[in-house]
Amino acid sequence: MALARTGLYVKRSVGGLFAVEDMAVSTGARIFVDSATGTDAAGYGTGPDKPVATIDYGIGLCTASKGDIVYVMPYHAENITTATAIACDVIGVSVIGLGEGNAIPKITATAAAGACTISVADVTLKNLRFIAGFATGVTQCIAIAAGGDGATLDGVQIRDTLANTEYLSHVNVATTVTDLTIKNCDIVSLVGSLVSSVLFAGTTSDVIIEDNHFFVDSSDSVIDHSAGAAINITIRRNVIVNGDTGAAGYCVELKSDATGVVHDNYMAYNKVDAEIGIGGAAWWFENYASNTIAQSGLLDPTTAHAIP
């Protein structure tokens, strides 16, 4: 009788132990990171019982275009001070945090330049918590450079520590980036000096922003894609709240020639009579918006055309 086949694969790892891995997830190597028990040295990282200590060291153990995964252990905590402290510079690598609630791995920026930078294609960040920990403000949380096509941010949390210990921008996207996905993220900022939550430097194509929660105090647009045209952008099922009462931006701002679809979003902007969303060449469906706390949202934009 033939045995049923599964996606599991068994191999001998360094030290003589066996690893059982789910090949349905990836056929690449698994690297483990734990700040409590890890050591950044040769021979470490191949198992949860012998991890490396930092995420960047773990990424450095990966091979490009093999689908390698860096697993960050529950309760991992590390501080970063430069834009290259976590350099996602190996194509196709996924950095996945393990744990729920307070066990989710924490990455704290303790200098203005502290950031995670994605500079190559097809990188995924998942289930990680980024914290601003510098008293005069952290410039950015995640930078997606021009080479970062196909990047995915999934279930990423971003938090300020205090009103003046904050991020000034959450996700900065370079011009010409394609196939970026931001989904299931929870981004919260306190009253302070945040400019934009997701800021695009120029043109992009095939960006998807879906199922995120933005509760921020942004002096400009929360999602700002006004510097260049977005081609085929999709913004859907997000909750976007801007608590700033004096801002001149929007919850969603697209350049006038952007194309794509903005649908089923709930948007609030705590400035009376301010516009909520703008992007004249995109399609807008079933977006609800409000300028007044404790009042139900209205369709935005309102229907102003005849449908035969």
Q: Residue 262: pLDDT above 60?
A: yes
Amino acid at 62: C
What six digits make up the tokens of 264? 């089923």
Q: Which domain holds residue 90?
A: 28-299
What is the strand order of the sheet 288-290 is part of? Answer: 77-80, 106-109, 129-132, 157-159, 186-188, 213-216, 239-242, 266-269, 288-290, 298-299
What six digits make up the tokens of 164? 């003046």
Mean pLDDT of the chain: 91
H or E element that contains 71: strand 69-72
Q: How many CB atoms lie within 10 A of CB 285?
A: 11
Token pair 């609030």 in the structure block, residue: 268
- Does residue 253 lie within any of the structural domains? yes
Average pLDDT over residues 246-261: 92
Token pair 């990171």 in the structure block, residue: 33
- Does residue 14 lie within any of the structural domains? no
- Does residue 76 lie within any of the structural domains? yes
Contact at 8 Å (CB) between 220 and 192?
no
- Does residue 20 lie within any of the structural domains? no
* Whole-angstrom Cα Rg for the chain: 21
- Does residue 235 lie within any of the structural domains? yes
Which pTM was predicted?
0.92
Quick one: how far is CA 259 from the chain centroid?
Answer: 22
Note the pLDDT of residue 122: 98
Q: Residue 264: pLDDT above 70?
A: yes
Whether omega before 301 lies within 30 degrees of 0, making that bond cis, reads yes
Amino acid at 63: T
Q: What is the pLDDT of residues 270-280, one digit of tens each?
A: 887 777 899 98
Percent of the chain with pLDDT over 90: 78
Phi, psi of 59 (to 5 degrees): -60, -40
- Residue 222: which of 273, 176, 275 has the closest Cα? 275
Instruction: Report the CATH number that the domain containing residue 148 is assigned in CATH.
Output: 2.160.20
Distance CA 19, CA 46 (A): 9
Distance CA 56, CA 260 (A): 35
- Residue 187: which of 132, 111, 247 has the closest Cα? 132
Distance CA 189, CA 102 (A): 18
Distance CA 207, CA 151 (A): 10
- Residue 215: which of 186, 252, 247 has the closest Cα? 186
H-state helical runs in the chain? 55-60
pLDDT band per the 50, 70, 90 thresholds, residue 306 = low
Q: At 179, is the secondary structure helix, strand, or coil?
A: coil
- Does residue 305 lie within any of the structural domains? no
Token pair 């698994």 in the structure block, residue: 30
Q: What is the pLDDT of residues 108-158, one digit of tens each?
A: 999 999 999 999 999 999 999 999 999 999 999 999 999 999 999 999 999
Token pair 């066996």 in the structure block, residue: 18
Percent of the chain with pLDDT over 70: 90
- Does residue 16 lie within any of the structural domains? no
Domain count for the chain, please give it: 1
Q: What is the pLDDT of residues 48-102, one digit of tens each?
A: 999 999 999 999 999 999 999 999 999 999 999 999 999 999 999 999 999 999 9
Note the pLDDT of residue 13: 56
- Does residue 18 lie within any of the structural domains? no
